[in-house]
């Protein structure tokens, strides 16, 4: 996959994060370039085992770089031990110290930086207050709810005034209802944060709500990066297409027709030449049991139903055949078509609902 | 002693016939081939203790226990076992941390060496200590000529012998607790600006405190009962190196009643230790 660099830091060459993280572990190699200006929130998005967490640990200094570089606000950090880096980390399961109160957890960082006990407690109290947790200052972590623990973890990471804030799956440990609230709060805190924030997630919604820019990692390398809107509209790998819920194909365009590498032809709106991607949403697909006679749709394929599952109030149909694709139907439509695994159907997509862009 | 439904199972045994069937069917009773050796084993472990209580000279006990020899031996035992535990804590906890948290070539071999005193006959340990720290020992000769320090046949020698035998118990116990503890708490502390030592002191140490306490009690109990290494390295001088176990052994030769009295004291101390640990060991099911 070609590498599209949508953001380069200009005019602020010394400020922010400039990293080329290379970690070689024999069977696995991480090679990721990351740049961000102060105030940026970058999300590393990718499937399990893609190397997101390794990248985060390398930024924190918990994993040694095999090669590459790491500069933060102009200072070289490659050889700096984690305790001397101006980096704060919110761990996936928070890792709040179980023997300390919320107040002392948050005060731990300032204390290590040389503040007296009283000073660090004052700083911690201020942070807890800002997080709306003042009344839980004396509570041990096991008495906090998931959402409260998450906020204590964020307060603890911010209390050291880091220049780089790292968040590892910050919402993964929360249940769906808490997640909504905490996500909104976290978004507010990240918006206020004046330095660079990098968060790791496998949840596209978290990434899109929280981050200004997404960096998608697969198998240790960046496969795509850009704004959430750009990535949602122009996915470049099957993984991303699946995340944003699009059917994605690669082929050669000649005007309005795109011939896929696997054979089928798709008619599109855009007039392009050369290597392109074609994407369309599953809801744009219409299914027929018999070949439609009044075929206004130029895009018509004969497919077999490979699977059915409920998807919100829709039925998601997985189709194989000439063109593997996903189609969304209403429950009623699915029942009328008498869909079942192995059923043969005709699938059509209007050209106006497809979207093609250069590869 | 919670795990055996002994009364239930024994009643079943007496009834005969249907018992075997029920054992097989429900799987809740204890099968005969296990029950019989289990009861014999239980009796084997408890009988000597019962005998000790049965034959105790209860009438002369108060005078026995208030004799100077007994008090001297008890005081010396409690002091030296506590001092040996303190030495084990100061040296053993860092050793356990190094074994559990660092990677270096030969770590497995070193760990095996640390556990060696666990299986080494204590008398051999005493001989080895003499060769190392005796007046003509490998290190002892320098201690003697440079600092005028003599360890063998002194109370300090008792502490050294007991620490040598007891420390491995502490190291193994603490190392196990450290391995079970999540090392990522130390990482979290580091990202907050704590050096590895600060992370150890302020995060790891409080987290593994229960394991350290259990290891310390084990080491203390082992030191209290130490006989072989002590008598070999430190000798048997009343008031100076004669600990309770040595006093018991000596008393058995010429004053059996005193030996029983001393043994009862040690039994009481052991039961007190067990009671202190009951939350940890006796409730595990």
How many CB pairs below 8 A link A and B?
56
- Strand A67-72 relative to strand A164-168, pairing: unpaired
pLDDT band with cut points at 50, 70 and 90 for residue B28: low
Q: Are residues A256 and A306 in the same domain?
A: yes
Chain A residues with beta carbon closer than 8 angstroms to that of B187 = 62, 82, 95
Q: Residue B232's pLDDT is what?
A: 92
Helix H or strand E segment including A266: strand A265-280
Torsion-angle region of A4 (φ positive above 0: left; ψ -120 to 50: alpha; else: beta): beta
Closest residue of chain B to A93, computed from CA coordinates: B184
Q: Residue A122's pLDDT is what?
A: 95
Mean pLDDT computed over B7-14:
44
Window A:118-177, CB contacts with B under 8 Å: 156-157, 160
Instruction: Provide the shortest C-alpha distance from residue B174 to chain A (in Å).
Output: 18
Residue A235 and residue A319 in contact, taking contact as beta carbons nearer than 8 Å: no
The minimal CB distance from B192 to the residues A61, A98, A160 is found for A160
Domain final position from A200, A216, A242: A242
% of chain B at pLDDT higher than 90 = 45
User: Residue A22: which domain range?
Assistant: 17-96+144-242
Q: Could you report the per-residue pLDDT of B204-215, keeping only the tens digit for each?
A: 999 999 889 889
Asked whether residue A224 is assigned to any structural domain, the reply reads: yes
Measured at the CA of B247, the angle between CA B245 and CA B252, to 5 degrees, comes to 100
Place of tokens 């506590």: B82
Question: How does DSSP classify residue B241?
Answer: T
Q: Residue A172's pLDDT is what?
A: 86
Question: How does DSSP classify residue B146?
Answer: I
Instruction: Provide the shortest C-alpha distance from residue B67 to chain A (in Å).
Output: 47
Question: How does DSSP classify residue A96?
Answer: -
Indicate the average pLDDT of chain A.
88
Q: Per the CB < 8 Å rule, is B193 touching A113? A: yes
Q: What is the number of domains present in chain A? A: 2
Which of A3-7, B42-46, B221-225 is predicted with the least confidence, judged by mean pLDDT?
A: A3-7
Chain B residues with beta carbon closer than 8 angstroms to that of A59 = none
Q: Is the pLDDT of residue B147 over 80?
A: yes
Mean pLDDT computed over A189-209:
90
Instruction: Provide the shortest C-alpha distance from residue B210 to chain A (in Å).
Output: 12
Query: To probe the interface with A, which of B182, B188, B199, B200 has the most A CB atoms within 10 Å?
Result: B188
Q: Is the pLDDT of residue B121 over 60?
A: yes
Q: Per the CB < 8 Å rule, is B189 touching A87? A: no
Closest residue of chain A to B205, computed from CA coordinates: A99
Q: Are residues A175 and A193 in the same domain?
A: yes
Place of tokens 């290190």: B139
Chain B residues with beta carbon closer than 8 angstroms to that of A95 = 182, 184-185, 187-188
Q: Could you report the per-residue pLDDT of B185-201, keeping only the tens digit for each?
A: 999 999 999 999 999 99
Q: Residue B22's pLDDT is what?
A: 46
Chain A residues with beta carbon closer than 8 angstroms to that of B185 = 95, 97
Q: Residue A295's pLDDT is what?
A: 56
Asked whether residue A230 is assigned to any structural domain, the reply reads: yes
Q: Are residues A70 and A214 in the same domain?
A: yes
Q: Per the CB < 8 Å rule, is B184 touching A89? A: no
Task: Decide if A87 touches B, using CB distance below 8 A.
Answer: yes
Q: Is the pLDDT of residue B154 over 80?
A: yes
Q: Are residues A54 and A167 in the same domain?
A: yes
Task: Decide if A108 touches B, using CB distance below 8 A.
Answer: yes
Residue A337 and residue A347 in contact, taking contact as beta carbons nearer than 8 Å: no
Chain B residues with beta carbon closer than 8 angstroms to that of A157 = 191-192
Query: To probe the interface with B, which of A112, A123, A169 has the most B CB atoms within 10 Å?
Result: A112
pLDDT band with cut points at 50, 70 and 90 for residue A97: very high
Asked whether residue A33 is assigned to any structural domain, the reply reads: yes
Asked whether residue A301 is assigned to any structural domain, the reply reads: yes
Mean pLDDT computed over A60-85:
92
Highest mean pLDDT among A266-280, A332-346, B81-95: B81-95
Q: State how far the Cα of B207 lies from the Cα of B139, in Å rounded to an integer.
A: 37
Domain final position from A197, A222, A242: A242
Q: Residue A159's pLDDT is what?
A: 94
Q: Is the pLDDT of residue A342 over 90?
A: no
Helix H or strand E segment including A259: strand A247-260
B20 is written with which tokens?
Answer: 């075997």
Q: Are residues A88 and A184 in the same domain?
A: yes
pLDDT band with cut points at 50, 70 and 90 for residue A13: low
CATH number at residue A49: 3.40.50.300
Q: Per the CB < 8 Å rule, is B191 touching A60? A: yes
- Strand A325-330 relative to strand A265-280, pairing: unpaired
Chain Cα centroid distance, residue A347: 31
CATH number at residue A319: 2.40.50.100
Count of Cβ atoms closer than 10 Å to residue B64 Cβ: 22
Residue boundaries of the structural domains of chain B: 6-54, 61-281
Q: Are residues A290 and A350 in the same domain?
A: yes
Q: What Rg do the C-alpha atoms of chain B give, in angstroms?
A: 24
Domain final position from A187, A219, A242: A242
Q: Are residues A157 and A266 in the same domain?
A: no
- For chain B, count helices (H), then strands (E): 16, 0
Instruction: Render the burial of A264-292: b for 16+ CB within 10 Å, e for the rest.
Output: bebbbebebeeebbbbbbbebbbbeeeee
Chain B residues with beta carbon closer than 8 angstroms to that of A154 = none
Q: Are residues A265 and A230 in the same domain?
A: no
Q: Are residues A46 and A150 in the same domain?
A: yes
Instruction: Provide the shortest C-alpha distance from residue B192 to chain A (in Å).
Output: 5
Count of Cβ atoms closer than 10 Å to residue A176 Cβ: 6
Which residues contact residue A220 at a Cβ distance below 8 angstroms, ignoring those fewer than 6 apart?
A28, A29, A30, A31, A32, A50, A51
- Picking from A345, A288, A289, A298, the residue whose alpha carbon sits closest to that of residue A322 is A345
Q: At what angle do helices B256-276 and B244-254 cross, to 10 degrees?
A: 150
Q: Are residues A153 and A169 in the same domain?
A: yes
pLDDT band with cut points at 50, 70 and 90 for residue B281: low
List the alpha helices (DSSP H) in chain A. Answer: 52-60, 102-112, 117-130, 146-158, 176-192, 204-210, 228-233, 238-244, 331-336
Q: For B61-281, CATH number?
A: 1.10.3720.10
A13 is written with which tokens?
Answer: 């060459």
Q: Residue A294's pLDDT is what?
A: 65
Q: Is the pLDDT of residue B283 over 60?
A: no
Q: Residue B23's pLDDT is what?
A: 44
- Picking from B172, B204, B167, the residue whose alpha carbon sits closest to that of residue B185 is B204
Closest residue of chain B to A58, computed from CA coordinates: B191
Q: Per the CB < 8 Å rule, is A82 touching B190? A: yes
Q: Are residues A176 and A308 in the same domain?
A: no
Q: Could you report the per-residue pLDDT of A225-241, keeping only the tens digit for each?
A: 999 989 988 999 989 99
Q: Are residues A210 and A256 in the same domain?
A: no
pLDDT band with cut points at 50, 70 and 90 for residue B142: confident
Task: Decide if B207 touches A, using CB distance below 8 A.
Answer: yes
Q: Could you report the per-residue pLDDT of A105-135, keeping only the tens digit for each?
A: 999 999 999 999 999 999 999 999 998 899 9
Q: At what angle do helices B32-54 and B6-15 cross, to 10 degrees?
A: 120
Asked whether residue A28 is assigned to any structural domain, the reply reads: yes
């Amino acid at each position: 996959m070609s590498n599209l660099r949508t953001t380069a830091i200009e005019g602020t060459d010394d400020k922010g994060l400039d990293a080329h993280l290379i970690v070689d572990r024999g069977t696995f190699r991480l090679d990721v370039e990351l740049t961000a200006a102060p105030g940026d929130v970058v999300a590393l998005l990718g499937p399990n085992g893609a190397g997101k967490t390794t990248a985060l640990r390398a930024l924190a200094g918990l994993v040694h770089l095999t090669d590459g570089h790491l500069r933060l606000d102009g200072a070289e950090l490659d050889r700096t031990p984690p305790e001397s880096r101006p980096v704060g980390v919110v761990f996936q399961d928070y890792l709040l110290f179980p023997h300390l109160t919320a107040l002392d957890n948050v005060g731990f960082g300032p204390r290590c930086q040389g503040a007296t006990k009283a000073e660090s407690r004052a700083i911690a109290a201020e942070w807890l207050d800002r997080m709306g947790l003042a009344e839980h200052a004396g509570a041990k972590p096991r008495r906090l709810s998931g959402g409260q623990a998450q906020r204590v973890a964020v307060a603890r990471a911010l209390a050291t005034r880091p220049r780089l804030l790292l968040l590892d799956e910050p919402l993964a440990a929360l249940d769906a209802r808490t997640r909504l609230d905490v996500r909104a709060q976290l978004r507010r805190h990240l918006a206020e944060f004046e330095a660079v924030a990098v968060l790791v997630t496998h949840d596209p919604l978290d990434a899109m709500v929280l981050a200004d820019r997404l960096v998608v990692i697969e198998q240790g390398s960046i496969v795509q990066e850009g704004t959430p809107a750009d990535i949602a509209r122009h996915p470049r790998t099957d993984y991303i297409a699946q995340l944003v819920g699009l059917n994605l194909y690669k082929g050669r365009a000649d005007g309005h027709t795109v011939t896929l590498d696997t054979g089928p032809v798709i008619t599109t709106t855009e007039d392009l030449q050369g290597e392109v991607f074609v994407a369309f949403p599953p809801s744009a697909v219409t299914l027929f049991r018999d070949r439609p006679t009044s075929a206004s749709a130029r895009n018509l394929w004969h497919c077999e139903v490979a699977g059915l599952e409920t998807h919100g109030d829709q039925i998601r149909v997985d189709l194989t055949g000439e063109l593997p694709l996903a189609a969304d139907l209403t429950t009623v439509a699915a029942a009328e078509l008498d869909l079942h695994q192995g059923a043969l159907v005709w699938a059509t997509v209007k050209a106006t609902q497809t979207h093609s862009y250069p590869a | 002693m919670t795990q055996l439904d002994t009364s239930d199972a024994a009643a079943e045994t007496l009834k005969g016939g249907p018992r075997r069937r029920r054992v097989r069917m429900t799987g809740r009773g204890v099968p005969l081939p296990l029950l019989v050796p289990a009861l014999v084993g239980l009796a084997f472990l408890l009988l000597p203790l019962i005998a000790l209580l049965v034959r105790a000279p209860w009438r002369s006990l108060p005078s026995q226990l208030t004799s100077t020899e007994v008090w001297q031996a008890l005081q010396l035992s409690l002091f030296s076992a506590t001092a040996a535990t303190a030495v084990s804590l100061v040296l053993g906890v860092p050793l356990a941390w190094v074994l559990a948290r660092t990677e270096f070539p030969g770590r497995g071999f070193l760990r095996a060496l640390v556990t060696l005193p666990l299986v080494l006959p204590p008398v051999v340990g005493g001989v080895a200590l003499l060769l190392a720290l005796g007046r003509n020992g490998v290190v002892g000769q320098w201690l003697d000529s440079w600092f005028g320090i003599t360890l063998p046949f002194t109370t300090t020698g008792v502490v050294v012998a007991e620490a040598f035998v007891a420390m491995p118990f502490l190291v193994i116990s603490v190392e196990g607790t450290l391995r079970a503890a999540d090392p990522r708490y130390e990482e979290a502390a580091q990202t907050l600006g704590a050096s590895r030592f600060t992370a150890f002191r302020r995060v790891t140490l409080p987290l593994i405190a229960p394991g350290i306490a259990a290891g310390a009690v084990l080491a203390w109990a082992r030191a209290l009962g130490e006989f072989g290494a002590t008598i070999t390295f430190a000798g048997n001088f009343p008031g100076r190196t004669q600990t309770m176990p040595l006093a018991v052994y000596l008393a058995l030769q010429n004053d059996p009643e005193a030996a029983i009295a001393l043994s009862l004291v040690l039994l009481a101390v052991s039961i007190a230790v067990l009671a202190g640990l009951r939350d940890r060991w006796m409730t595990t099911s």
